[in-house]
C-alpha cells in the first residue's frame, strides 16, 4: 500500500494517537503530548516513536510484575497450607 493512501500520512491529517496502539498507557501519553503541545508539530513523529517504545516496555513490565505478584501470592498460600498440614 503506498504511503499516500495511509490516512495519517496525508497532508493535513490528524497526528497519530497513542490510545490506538497502547492499551493501558495510551490515554496518558496522549494527554502528555497535548499538554506539552507536541501533537501535530514537526518533531511529533520522533516523540510518537519514542513514546510507543517506552509505553510498550512499561506495559510489558507492569504485566510481568502483576503476573509475578499473583504467582508469589499463590505460592505463599500453598506453602502455608502445607505447613498447616504437617502439624
pLDDT at 5: 46
Q: In total, how many domains does the chain have? A: 1
pLDDT at 34: 82
Is the Cα torsion angle 39, 44, 50, 53 positive or negative in sign?
A: positive
Rounded CA-CA distance 60/49 in Å is 17
The whole domain housing 71 covers: 3-86
Q: Would you tell me how many other CB atoms lie within 10 Å of the CB of residue 60?
A: 10
- Please give the residue that has the higher pLDDT: either 1 or 74: 74
Task: Give tens-digit pLDDT for 20-46.
Answer: 888 888 888 888 888 888 776 777 788
Rounded CA-CA distance 80/87 in Å is 11
Over the chain, what is the mean pLDDT? 78
Task: Give tens-digit pLDDT for 47-87.
Answer: 888 888 999 999 999 999 999 999 999 999 887 766 655 65
Amino acid at each position: 500500500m503506498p504511503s499516500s493512501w495511509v490516512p495519517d500520512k496525508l497532508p493535513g491529517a490528524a497526528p497519530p494517537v497513542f490510545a490506538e496502539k497502547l492499551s493501558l498507557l495510551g490515554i496518558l501519553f496522549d494527554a502528555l503530548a497535548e499538554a506539552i503541545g507536541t501533537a501535530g508539530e514537526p518533531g511529533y513523529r520522533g516523540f510518537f516513536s519514542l513514546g510507543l517504545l517506552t509505553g510498550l516496555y512499561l506495559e510489558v513490565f507492569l504485566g510481568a510484575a502483576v503476573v509475578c505478584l499473583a504467582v508469589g501470592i499463590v505460592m505463599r498460600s500453598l506453602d502455608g497450607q502445607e505447613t498447616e498440614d504437617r502439624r
